[in-house]
């Protein structure tokens, strides 16, 4: 019985062709890799029965995967009479790369030019005659899913079985390689391997491990010094040979396509190009980036705070009441009521209230990223970064830092020079991470309720500015040296997928929730204990241990306009995690169970000007413990970690003092 084998790229329609030929019902799927092992079937034509084998889809016939080996072994050892190469007409270059390898095998090939319907829809047209001539094999256009062209394919294949022709197209790999192939062929010729000698020769030059292993078991070959010398010589040049062979195959494909395929003139300017012309423009790029970010923050506020914000804070307030009441009702000890209502609900609750806004912000950021815009932003920033002596890739770690500085700093690993990496690590903490948002929000609600988006935007922007400035200073002083370039593909714009956006959001928000339940909870617990001790003292007062610590630190912050013990304690707690700043304020402004009370307490304790300077301080000062630990780990140096902690504190303090002093001079309060 004669056998036909179906070979082709994943998802090119082999199984559909198989089903059309045999009438059987193999699984057809619209994703690559459905057929894992080969499937066999039969069909009758003119009274004769034929065997059909459906092979797994592969892009190549090397030894790259199990599938490739299964497919090529069947073609070479299974002795099919004809190989039907199912080619996806909408993706012709990639598919023909496989075809060239079938030609190398000297298999009897019929090409089923499948999905011709979709190709037509995309205005891709084929000159079948030219294609057939260039490849030296018969071509049958098919629409397998509609059984179109299948009879023609059967006829053509069966005709070929009896014809004694083999592919006559010769692919030249260049003089050197062609000579080497001839030479190897001569050495292999009378050795009786199951594979054709020429094919083995090509595979040896490509560095195919499987074939090397096969030959290493052949004693007569290995006893030949000529063969050994040849192999040694090849091995010395293997990378070069492999590259040239692959290259020549592509050259061949490219040639065939140029002669036989007509595609609609690719728009000289695609939509992506048009957008890119504007958003990556030398002058407009940065203003547009700034504008987009401003829009993001405005939208975040409009949706996250104005629309949804109230709900969460009411829910937290109500939940707090219920828990407190039930504690009181069950006669729980007074300290427990205080701990739960002031410590946990006042503290952790104050942080959780901002979840809606954070959800919205990270969804919008996710949209920017998934649409492909963020890559453009990185491109635009690359120019500025380089002008400042910084590596463009630094900006990517900075974007990651907007989520959390810990992964931001880990992302600097992709910077290859030590200099670039150190700088990127040291400036990452200035990127405003998600944990700082609750702090801003409380102060915005207290003093700038209708300018929330703008204030947030300015803070983020200030963070970037300070980071760039410090980066410039570092590259001029501490770490000198060349900055290298970075390689990145700008993908075409696309509609963001809901899934990716949701995932991006959840990755950030879940971290936030996790911290609220762990770090923030622990910090609040410790601070609560410090706030009610020593026994007998009025809780949350200046005389508690916490109050005394705060009173001790507070004078440092006097020039910045917030020299109160509560503010000092808040900032101190923020060293553990930035949300703790707000959790602490929520707790120490006693009895605060819900947002509105905290906000009015803040209104009493701060002025608009000192509120701004406090936000600037929160943005810039020493990052949280986890970030410092990461810096230590990544730089492998406690010295640098300590340096990072101290210099950021100094930068934050100077920033806050400048804001307050200049603002006072200008007559703000």
Partner 1 sequence: MLVETLREIKRQPIFSKKSLADKLNVSEDMVGNALEQLKRMGYLEEEKPSHCSRNCKFCSFNCSSSSLNTMVITPKGEKLLSSN
- Is residue 29 involved in binding ligand GTP (CB under 6 A)? yes
**Do 54 and 37 contact (CB within 8 A), yes or no?**
no
Residue 496 CA, distance from chain mean position: 13
Among the listed residues 162, 175, 239, 482, the single contact to partner 1 using CB under 8 A: 239
Alpha-carbon distance of 524 to 546, in angstroms, equals 12
Structure tokens that stand for 79 in this block: 């002795």
Coil, helix or strand at residue 89: helix
- What's the first-to-final CA gap in the chain, in angstroms? 96
- Is residue 605 involved in binding Mg ion (CB under 5 A)? no
User: H or E stretch including 258?
Assistant: helix 238-260
Q: How far is the CB of 158 from Mg ion (least distance, A)?
A: 23
By beta-carbon proximity to partner 1, the closer residue of 366 and 429 is 366
- Is residue 120 involved in binding ligand GTP (CB under 6 A)? no
- Is residue 95 involved in binding ligand GTP (CB under 6 A)? no
Where are the extended beta strands (E) located within 128-260?
A: 139-141
Q: How far is the CB of 171 from ligand GTP (least distance, A)?
A: 25
Q: What are phi and psi of 37, to 5 degrees?
A: -115, 170
Near ligand GTP by CB under 6 A, which window of 12-20, 100-108, 239-247, 390-398? 12-20
H-only helix segments in 491-520 = 498-515
- Is residue 511 involved in binding partner 1 (CB under 8 A)? yes
Q: What are phi and psi of 139, to 5 degrees?
A: -120, 130
Structure tokens that stand for 375 in this block: 């890559």
By beta-carbon proximity to ligand GTP, the closer residue of 34 and 529 is 34
Q: How far is the CB of 425 from partner 1 (least distance, A)?
A: 13
Alpha-carbon distance of 346 to 589, in angstroms, equals 9
**Do 69 and 22 contact (CB within 8 A), yes or no?**
no
Contact map string, positions 416 to 455, toward partner 1, x by CB under 8 A: x---------------------------------------
Among the listed residues 2, 24, 34, 386, the single contact to Mg ion using CB under 5 A: 34
30: partner contacted, choices ligand GTP, partner 1, Mg ion, none (Cβ within 5-8 A by kind) = ligand GTP
- Is residue 91 involved in binding partner 1 (CB under 8 A)? yes
**Do 575 and 590 contact (CB within 8 A), yes or no?**
no
115: partner contacted, choices Mg ion, partner 1, ligand GTP, none (Cβ within 5-8 A by kind) = ligand GTP
**Do 562 and 550 contact (CB within 8 A), yes or no?**
no
User: H or E stretch including 583?
Assistant: helix 579-588
- Is residue 149 involved in binding ligand GTP (CB under 6 A)? no
Place of tokens 């209502």: 341
- Is residue 250 involved in binding partner 1 (CB under 8 A)? yes
Restricting to residues 597-626, name those near partner 1 by CB under 8 A: 626
Restricting to residues 378-407, name those near partner 1 by CB under 8 A: 378-379, 382, 392-393, 396, 399-400, 403-404, 406-407
| Nearest to 183, CA basis, from 250, 239, 241 | 241
Number of residues that bind ligand GTP (CB under 6 A): 23
| Nearest to 461, CA basis, from 484, 440, 488 | 440
Identify the sign of the CA torsion 142, 145, 147, 148: negative
Among the listed residues 85, 100, 101, 114, the single contact to ligand GTP using CB under 6 A: 114
Which positions touch partner 1 (CB under 8 A)? 64, 91-94, 97, 239, 242-243, 246-247, 250-251, 253-254, 257, 263, 266, 270, 272-273, 276, 366, 369-375, 378-379, 382, 392-393, 396, 399-400, 403-404, 406-408, 410-411, 413-414, 416, 485-492, 500, 503-504, 507-508, 510-511, 515, 626
Which positions touch ligand GTP (CB under 6 A)? 8, 10-16, 28-30, 32-35, 57, 114-115, 117-118, 143-145
Which positions touch Mg ion (CB under 5 A)? 15, 34-35
């Amino acid at each position: 019985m004669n056998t036909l084998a179906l070979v082709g790229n994943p998802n090119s329609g082999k199984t559909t062709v198989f089903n059309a030929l045999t009438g059987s019902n193999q699984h057809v799927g619209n994703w690559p890799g459905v057929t894992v092992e080969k499937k066999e079937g039969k069909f009758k034509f003119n009274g004769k029965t034929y065997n059909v084998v459906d092979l797994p889809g592969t892009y190549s016939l090397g030894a790259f995967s199990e599938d490739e080996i299964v497919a090529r072994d069947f073609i070479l050892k299974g002795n099919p009479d004809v190989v039907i190469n199912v080619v996806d007409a909408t993706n012709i270059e990639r598919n023909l790369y496989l075809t060239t390898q079938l030609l190398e095998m000297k298999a009897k090939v019929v090409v089923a030019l499948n999905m011709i319907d979709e190709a037509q829809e995309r205005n891709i047209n084929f000159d079948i005659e030219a294609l057939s001539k260039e490849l030296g094999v018969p071509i049958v256009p098919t629409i397998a899913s509609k059984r179109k062209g299948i009879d023609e394919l059967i006829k053509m294949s069966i005709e070929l079985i009896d014809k004694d022709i083999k592919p006559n197209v010769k692919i030249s790999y260049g003089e050197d390689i062609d000579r080497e192939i001839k030479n190897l062929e001569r050495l292999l010729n009378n050795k009786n391997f199951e594979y054709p000698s020429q094919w083995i020769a090509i595979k040896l030059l490509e560095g195919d491990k499987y074939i090397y292993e096969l030959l290493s078991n052949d004693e007569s070959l290995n006893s030949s010094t000529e063969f050994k010398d040849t192999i040694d010589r090849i091995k010395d040049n293997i990378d070069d040979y492999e590259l040239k062979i692959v290259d020549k195959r592509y050259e061949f494909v490219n040639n065939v396509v140029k002669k036989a395929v007509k595609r609609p003139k690719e728009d000289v300017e695609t939509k992506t190009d048009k957008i890119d012309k504007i958003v990556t423009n030398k002058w407009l790029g940065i203003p547009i980036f700034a504008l987009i970010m401003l829009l993001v923050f405005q939208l975040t506020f409009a949706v996250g705070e104005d629309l949804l914000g109230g709900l969460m804070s009411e829910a937290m307030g109500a939940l707090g009441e219920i828990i407190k009441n039930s504690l009181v009702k069950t006669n729980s000890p007074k300290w427990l009521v205080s701990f739960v209502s002031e410590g946990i609900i006042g503290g952790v609750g104050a942080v959780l209230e901002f979840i809606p806004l954070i959800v919205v912000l990270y969804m919008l950021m996710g949209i920017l990223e998934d649409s492909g815009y963020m890559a453009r932003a990185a491109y635009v920033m690359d120019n500025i970064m380089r002008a400042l002596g910084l590596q463009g890739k630094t900006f990517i770690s900075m974007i990651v830092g907007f989520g959390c500085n810990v992964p931001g700093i880990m992302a600097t690993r992709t910077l290859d020079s030590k200099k670039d990496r150190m700088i990127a690590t040291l400036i990452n903490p200035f990127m405003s991470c998600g944990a700082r948002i609750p702090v801003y929000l409380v102060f915005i609600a207290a003093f700038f309720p209708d300018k929330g988006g703008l204030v947030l935007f300015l803070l983020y922007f200030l963070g970037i500015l300070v980071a760039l400035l410090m980066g410039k200073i570092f590259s001029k002083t501490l770490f000198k040296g060349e900055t290298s370039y970075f390689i990145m593909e700008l993908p075409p714009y696309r509609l963001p997928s809901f899934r990716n956006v949701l995932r991006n959001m959840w990755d950030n928000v879940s971290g936030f929730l996790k911290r609220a339940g762990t770090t923030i909870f622990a910090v609040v617990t410790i601070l609560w204990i410090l706030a009610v001790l020593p026994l007998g003292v009025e809780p949350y007062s200046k005389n508690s241990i916490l109050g005394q610590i705060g009173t001790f630190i507070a004078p440092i912050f006097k020039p910045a306009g917030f020299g109160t013990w509560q503010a000092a304690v808040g900032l101190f707690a923020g060293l553990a995690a930035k949300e703790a700043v707000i959790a602490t304020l929520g707790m120490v402004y006693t009895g605060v169970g819900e947002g509105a009370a905290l906000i009015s307490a803040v209104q009493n304790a701060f002025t608009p000007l000192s509120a701004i300077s406090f936000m600037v301080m929160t943005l810039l000062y020493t990052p949280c413990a986890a970030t410092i630990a990461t810096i230590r780990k990544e730089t492998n140096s406690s010295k640098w970690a300590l340096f990072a902690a101290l210099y950021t504190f100094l930068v934050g303090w100077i920033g806050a003092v400048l804001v307050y002093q200049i603002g006072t001079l200008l007559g703000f309060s």
